[in-house]
Amino acid sequence: MDDSKRLKTIDAFMLNSELNLDLDDLMTLLAEAYNVPIVLLGIVGRHEEVIKACHGTDIKTIPREHAFCNRVVDSGEALVVSDANEDERFARNPILINDNKVVFYAGTPIDVDGETIGAVCLIDNQPRKIENENLTLLKRIGALVSKHIALSREHEMLKREHGLIEKSPIVLATWNFDNSLKLVYISKNARAVLGAEAADLLNGNIELIDLMCDQSDADFTFAMQAHMEGVESHVCRLKVSAPTRTIWVSMISTASFNDDGSLVSVQAFLFDTSDQKYVEDKLNETNQRMRLLLEASELGTWDWNLKANVNQVNKRWCEIVGIDYEYYDSSYRYTRQLIHPADLMQFEQHLEDHIAGKSQVFNTSFRMQHANGSWVWVESYGKIVERDTNGKPIRIAGIHRDITRRMESEIFERKKTQLLQFINKTRASYLESNDLTLACQTVLPELIDLSDSQFAFIAQMQDHDTEPKLFIHAISEIVWDSESFSQYSEYKNRNLYFTSFDNLFGKVIVSGEVIIANSPKNHPASRGTPKGHPRINRFLGLPIKIKDRVVGMIGLANKFESYKPSDAEFFQPFVDALAGLFYAVDLERARADAEERLRKLAMTDPLTGLLNRRSFLDECNRIAQTHKQTAVAIVDIDYFKSINDTYGHDAGDYALKEIANINQSICNEHGVVARLGGEEFAIVLVDKTPNEADQIFESLRETINSTQFNYKTDRISLTISIGVSYTMDSFEVDFSAYLSVADQALYEAKSIGRNRVCWQPGIR
Ligand SMILES: Nc1nc2c(ncn2[C@@H]2O[C@H](COP(=O)(O)OP(=O)(O)OP(=O)(O)O)[C@@H](O)[C@H]2O)c(=O)[nH]1
């Protein structure tokens, strides 16, 4: 059968000798009453029956399988065996008590918690009978013994519990209420814990409240009063003067009440928590010291609850950003909106990394907006200080340090270095490309970056023509409609000019002064922006000057913060560098113009503007590279000396210029015309057959022959003679030699009557 439940009821102490039932006298009484030699009380365990009280034997245990009582336990009923010898269930039972076989047995069950755990039995070594009423009496005695055992067990358990408490540092106390609370129990360890004997406390020699010092007697009275007023449980901490030292005792008390709500009793645990209090005090002290230290060290503190999204800060934190502590809004959203937009992403990335466990600490620097509108640099250092049961961070705490001064000087130094590099880059770019526009375009993005602006342009004045205008070397791409698009295309083609100066940037040019407009629409010079143009919130115009003459400007717009005079000062070296470059470019341009003029002068005949002999020969050699058929002619005015003589030298000059013009108008499109000197011209015709060339020369001769040259009041008629040489392959030809050949043909023309075209012999 399954007797596990029953065995559970018979716990260890019931089987061993610890539980002294003190029932041996009862067993003797029963032996006498029933007139039997042996009476015993046995508890049947898993393997044996343990005799807990007996009369007439010293036996301690009986193997379970031989125990008659086991039958009682199995059936839960009383058992009477009048003669075991006659009963086949027991006939071969080897059990002997006092060397005698058990012959008579009458047992009644012992029931505890509804389980039969053993039996009280009468035993004899002779057959006997038992009257019914005697059996009933035995059963009643069995029931009484059952109760006694249950009570003994409970008593033992309580004793153990109390024993435990008495060895522990926890004092258990009970007060009963009868008009007032009276201490009716206090565990013995009161002496060890509170330094007063339990007996003294119980009989009133010592009052518990008298042990308490400072305000603790009031706290104790308050606790008891609270229970009398219906409070069920209460916790307080009491300072107690124990004989050797003062201790801190925590008291947890609970009250029990009648159905009508009237107080019955109060039970309390009192335990020494001095160590804990010491640690707490130390912690408070440390915290206090930390707080003072933090305040003295100018550190702001923050404590951010991630769950509630609330950021608690101290006064100093508020001071750093100029906020009144009383009006501080602890929502994280508020803190977030104080952070500079340019720093926010980095700030949140650091935070995320720390929460995700990627960094040991959260440590970053960023700008926060001060209540006065300026930006302060803050260094933040924090750490997760609390996690939930799943290990998820729920609190981060840290400190803030105002590092504005340090950062501003660091940034200023860094920017200064950047500016120098930037200026060098501009110069190097110009020197490398000899292209100022390209140099300006190259550095424009860095200029925007360095000035924290959104837009910028670099422009140079061009007033070589009558209308002054501003040439845009470089400008941010701002396109919002087709017109601005074509403007930007003009810029790409290096053809964008600003011509109107009746506006904000014009003011820079006209006044030659730095213009700072942090609210441009309110500036008197502002004419607004075209419809569709991105908003210009802030503007800084820097004039570029050479010896007080404005030669250009830099325009910067939409810095996140206000432009300040210090910005203009900061960029002055760059402005000067640009002025230097503008000056260099102007000088270079003037030098190139002069050179070009000189070159042209060296190449041309001053009277007629035609090429001179040397440049004519150069031109012929150039032509020879690409053209094969070339006719070379020398044109000479007939009897020119007599023109000079008759009409004067000026008239002669006039005639020379007129003939030069006719030469050009007829021959230029076919080749090159030059004046060789005196009244002699040279003409080269290219890609013409001898006949085609001859027609052109003939037409030239005829034109001059039929033209009347009017000089002042004089009517002058002229003729020319032309000598022509010709080559089919002009490559590597010596044109000086060909000129000589043409000269010979000219001589021929002169000698046979003038006003004619004569060819090199053998060509036509
Ligand atoms: N007005 C003027 N006369 C010049 C210039 N250069 C040369 N002459 C003159 O041109 C004249 C050339 O005369 P000649 O070489 O004798 O020849 P010609 O009178 O044209 O006679 P043929 O060539 O034989 O028909 C000289 O009187 C020069 O002084 C010039 O630049 N201007």
pLDDT digits (tens, 9 = 90+) for 248-275: 899 999 999 999 989 999 999 998 888 7
Mean pLDDT of 128-151: 93
Find out whether the beta carbon of 650 lies less than 6 Å from any atom of ligand 1.
Answer: no
Output DSSP code: residue 331: B
- Same domain assignment for residues 151 and 184: no
The model's pLDDT over 511-526, given as tens digits with 9 standing for 90+, comes to 999 999 999 888 888 8
> Looking at beta carbons, which pairs linking 489-495 to residues 24 or more positions away fall under 8 Å?
494/437
- Same domain assignment for residues 242 and 369: no
If one counts every other C-beta atom within 10 angstroms of the C-beta of residue 86, the result is: 11
What does the alpha-carbon distance between residue 760 and residue 764 come to, in Å, rounded to a whole number?
Answer: 8
Single-letter amino acid code for the residue at 396: I
- Same domain assignment for residues 630 and 689: yes
In a domain, 453, yes or no: yes
What does the alpha-carbon distance between residue 263 and residue 744 come to, in Å, rounded to a whole number?
Answer: 154
Single-letter amino acid code for the residue at 122: L
Q: List residues bridging with 722 in a β-sheet.
A: 635, 757
What does the alpha-carbon distance between residue 59 and residue 714 come to, in Å, rounded to a whole number?
Answer: 180
Contacts of 29 (CB under 8 A, 6+ apart): none
- Same domain assignment for residues 254 and 301: no
Instruction: Supply 173's token pair.
Output: 């106390």
Single-letter amino acid code for the residue at 13: F
Q: In this prediction, what percent of the chain has a pLDDT beyond 90?
A: 61
Q: Which has the closest alpha carbon to 412: 605, 634, 566, 205?
A: 566
Last residue of a domain, one of 591, 623, 643: 591
Q: In the prediction, which pLDDT does 647 show? A: 95
In a domain, 56, yes or no: yes
The model's pLDDT over 520-544, given as tens digits with 9 standing for 90+, comes to 888 888 888 777 788 899 999 999 9
In a domain, 610, yes or no: yes
Which residue bears the tokens 């042996």? 38
Whether 365 contacts 342, CB under 8 Å: no
The number of the ligand 1 atom at minimal distance from the alpha carbon of 607 is: 31
Percent of residues in the chain assigned helix, strand, coil, to nearest 5: 45, 30, 30
The model's pLDDT over 571-583, given as tens digits with 9 standing for 90+, comes to 999 999 999 999 9
Find out whether the beta carbon of 646 lies less than 6 Å from any atom of ligand 1.
Answer: no
Q: In the prediction, which pLDDT does 291 show? A: 67
Last residue of a domain, one of 591, 619, 652: 591
In a domain, 597, yes or no: no
- Same domain assignment for residues 262 and 192: yes
Q: Is the pLDDT of residue 552 over 90?
A: yes
Mean pLDDT of 387-402: 91
Residue from 613, 635, 641 whose mutation best tests the ligand 1 pocket (most atoms within 8 A of CB): 641
Q: Ligand 1 centre from 658 Cα, in Å? A: 15
The model's pLDDT over 319-371, given as tens digits with 9 standing for 90+, comes to 999 999 998 999 988 999 999 998 999 999 999 999 999 999 999 999 999 99
CATH number for the domain spanning 143: value is 3.30.450.40
Find out whether the beta carbon of 640 lies less than 6 Å from any atom of ligand 1.
Answer: yes
Instruction: Supply 80's token pair.
Output: 């009477």
The number of the ligand 1 atom at minimal distance from the alpha carbon of 649 is: 1
Whether 104 contacts 68, CB under 8 Å: no
Q: Which has the closest alpha carbon to 567: 519, 527, 517?
A: 517
- Same domain assignment for residues 40 and 154: yes
Find out whether the beta carbon of 652 lies less than 6 Å from any atom of ligand 1.
Answer: yes
| Angle ∠(156,158,159) on CA atoms, nearest 5 | 60
Inter-helix orientation angle 649-667/640-647, to 10°: 140
Q: Is the pLDDT of residue 409 over 80?
A: yes
If one counts every other C-beta atom within 10 angstroms of the C-beta of residue 81, the result is: 23
Instruction: Supply 690's token pair.
Output: 């001898």
What is the residue range of 571's domain? 429-591
Mean pLDDT of 566-572: 94
In a domain, 414, yes or no: no
- Same domain assignment for residues 147 and 190: no
In a domain, 416, yes or no: no
User: What three-state secondary structure class fits 533?
Assistant: coil
Q: Is the pLDDT of residue 465 over 70?
A: no
Mean pLDDT of 209-224: 90
Q: Which has the closest alpha carbon to 348: 331, 330, 336, 357?
A: 336
Top-confidence residue, 653 or 271: 653
If one counts every other C-beta atom within 10 angstroms of the C-beta of residue 528, the result is: 11
- Same domain assignment for residues 248 and 339: no
Last residue of a domain, one of 559, 591, 623: 591
What does the alpha-carbon distance between residue 198 and residue 750 come to, in Å, rounded to a whole number?
Answer: 162
In a domain, 671, yes or no: yes
Structurally, the chain folds into a number of domains equal to 5
pLDDT band at 637 (very low <50, low <70, confident <90, very high): very high
Q: How many residues does the chain have?
A: 764
Q: Which has the closest alpha carbon to 756: 725, 731, 708, 721?
A: 721
- Same domain assignment for residues 365 and 495: no
Q: In the prediction, which pLDDT does 455 show? A: 94
| Signed CA dihedral, 326, 331, 332, 338: sign only | negative
Find out whether the beta carbon of 639 lies less than 6 Å from any atom of ligand 1.
Answer: yes
What does the alpha-carbon distance between residue 523 and residue 503 come to, in Å, rounded to a whole number?
Answer: 10
Q: Is the pLDDT of residue 668 over 90?
A: no
The number of the ligand 1 atom at minimal distance from the alpha carbon of 652 is: 1
Q: In the prediction, which pLDDT does 731 show? A: 67
- Same domain assignment for residues 56 and 192: no
* Residue 358 burial class via C-beta count within 10 angstroms: exposed 0-12, middle 13-18, buried 19 and up: exposed
Q: In the prediction, which pLDDT does 91 show? A: 82
Pairing of strands 757-759, 720-727: parallel
Q: In the prediction, which pLDDT does 110 show? A: 94
Alpha helix segments (H runs only) across 216-273: 216-228
Mean pLDDT of 53-70: 92
pTM for this structure? 0.46
Distances (CA, A) of 158 to 21, 81, 155, 161: 16, 39, 5, 5
- Same domain assignment for residues 8 and 139: yes
Q: List residues bridging with 49 in a β-sheet.
A: 44, 62
User: What three-state secondary structure class fits 89?
Assistant: coil
Q: In the prediction, which pLDDT does 30 show? A: 94
The model's pLDDT over 5-44, given as tens digits with 9 standing for 90+, comes to 778 777 655 666 556 778 999 999 999 999 999 999 999 9
Q: Is the pLDDT of residue 216 over 70?
A: yes
pLDDT band at 724 (very low <50, low <70, confident <90, very high): very high
Q: Is the pLDDT of residue 296 over 80?
A: no
In a domain, 411, yes or no: no
Instruction: Supply 99's token pair.
Output: 């060397």
User: What three-state secondary structure class fits 368?
Assistant: strand
pLDDT band at 56 (very low <50, low <70, confident <90, very high): very high
Mean pLDDT of 651-655: 96
Top-confidence residue, 281 or 217: 217
Instruction: Supply 619's token pair.
Output: 């031109």
Residue from 679, 711, 720, 755 whose mutation best tests the ligand 1 pocket (most atoms within 8 A of CB): 679
Find out whether the beta carbon of 100 lies less than 6 Å from any atom of ligand 1.
Answer: no
- Same domain assignment for residues 335 and 436: no
Q: Is the pLDDT of residue 290 over 70?
A: no
Q: Is the pLDDT of residue 49 over 90?
A: yes
Q: In the prediction, which pLDDT does 295 show? A: 64
What does the alpha-carbon distance between residue 140 and residue 372 come to, in Å, rounded to a whole number?
Answer: 97
The number of the ligand 1 atom at minimal distance from the alpha carbon of 642 is: 19
> Mean pLDDT, the chain, as a whole number?
90
